[in-house]
């Protein structure tokens, strides 16, 4: 018999490097696809949550014959500091009756027993694409700071301004042509002030976030200037490339490009401005 019966042949160094290179190329090709699939899932979830919030606002309207206020002002100064917002008013419609019962609406949302309530996060108020921390600090003069749960969805002033009680029937421009809710992502501090964000409980500080937004007369995904005043209007924004999602008055949800014409964007924020706007 021959002593050289079929010896095994191993990989050469060059062959090994070729295999590693092929694996690297495959990973490079697959990774963007995986990331795109994940972002698509996050976008879908964002739309679903906006839809749920819009329907909850409609449920509130059916019961009270008007929408909740964007924020409720408390105290003799009549400033919007730490006023409860529309998000807190629709908690029962979001099946959050227990959390609603913990809220004392007769006082500011960041004092007393409310401190424990406002720190509880609501998944329906968060966009999965946003990278904000779970809570932001509430700074109310004369009181220790309190953490409030972060949120990413804000109301448009046309329907949800401070101390308002708007009825859908007054939207002569049409509910499908008027923005009800939109996105706002977490904006880190750029000049030593507190970051801009939002919370389901309402306005949490003058520089920390608002649950209602001025009419959209500024670009989607616009950046807050470094020295912008704390009381200036705050942009709608998102972590989605190219724009942000909005819910209209009729409950429909759609994506608005950040290249939208400013005049059209402004018109979409007014329920009865009489502007001619097409989809």
Please tell me the pTM assigned to this model.
0.77
Residue boundaries of the structural domains of the chain: 31-269
Lowest mean per-residue pLDDT among 79-88, 92-101, 138-147? 138-147
On the question of pLDDT at 197 being above 70, the answer is: no
For residues 119-139, average pLDDT: 85
Nearest to 214 by CA among 141, 154, 153: 154
* DSSP code of residue 256: E
Q: What span, in angstroms and rounded, lies between the C-alpha atoms of 45 and 219?
A: 24
In this prediction, residue 228 carries a pLDDT of: 43
Q: What span, in angstroms and rounded, lies between the C-alpha atoms of 125 and 106?
A: 23
In this prediction, residue 181 carries a pLDDT of: 93
Nearest to 181 by CA among 275, 249, 234: 249
The pLDDT tens digits of the residues spanning 201-229 come to: 886 544 333 444 444 434 455 444 333 44
In this prediction, residue 187 carries a pLDDT of: 64
Strand pairing class (153-156; 212-213): parallel
Q: What span, in angstroms and rounded, lies between the C-alpha atoms of 265 and 161?
A: 17
């Amino acid at each position: 018999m021959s002593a050289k019966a079929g010896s095994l042949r191993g990989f050469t160094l060059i062959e090994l490097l070729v295999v590693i290179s092929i694996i690297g190329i495959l990973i490079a090709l697959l990774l963007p696809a995986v990331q795109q699939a994940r972002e698509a899932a996050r976008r879908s979830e964002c739309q679903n949550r906006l839809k749920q919030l819009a329907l909850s606002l409609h449920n509130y309207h059916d019961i009270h014959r008007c929408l909740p206020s964007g924020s409720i002002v408390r105290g003799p100064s009549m400033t919007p500091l730490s006023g409860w917002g529309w998000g807190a008013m629709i908690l029962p419609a979001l099946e959050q009756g227990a959390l609603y019962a913990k809220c004392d609406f007769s006082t500011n949302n960041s004092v007393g027993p409310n401190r424990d309530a406002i720190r509880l996060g609501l998944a329906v108020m968060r966009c999965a694409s946003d990278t904000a921390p779970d809570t932001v600090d509430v700074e109310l003069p004369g009181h220790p700071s309190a953490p409030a749960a972060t949120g990413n969805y804000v109301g448009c002033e046309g329907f949800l301004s401070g101390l308002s009680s708007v009825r859908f029937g007054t939207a002569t421009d049409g509910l499908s042509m008027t923005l009800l809710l939109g996105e706002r992502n977490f904006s880190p501090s750029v000049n030593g002030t507190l970051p801009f964000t939002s919370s389901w409980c309402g306005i949490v500080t003058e520089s920390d976030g608002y649950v209602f937004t001025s009419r959209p007369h500024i670009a989607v995904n616009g950046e807050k200037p470094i020295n912008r005043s704390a009381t200036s209007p705050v942009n709608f924004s998102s972590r989605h490339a190219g724009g942000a999602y909005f819910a209209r008055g009729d409950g429909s949800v759609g994506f608005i490009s950040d290249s939208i014409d400013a005049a059209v964007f402004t018109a979409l924020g007014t329920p009865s401005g009489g502007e001619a706007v097409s989809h």
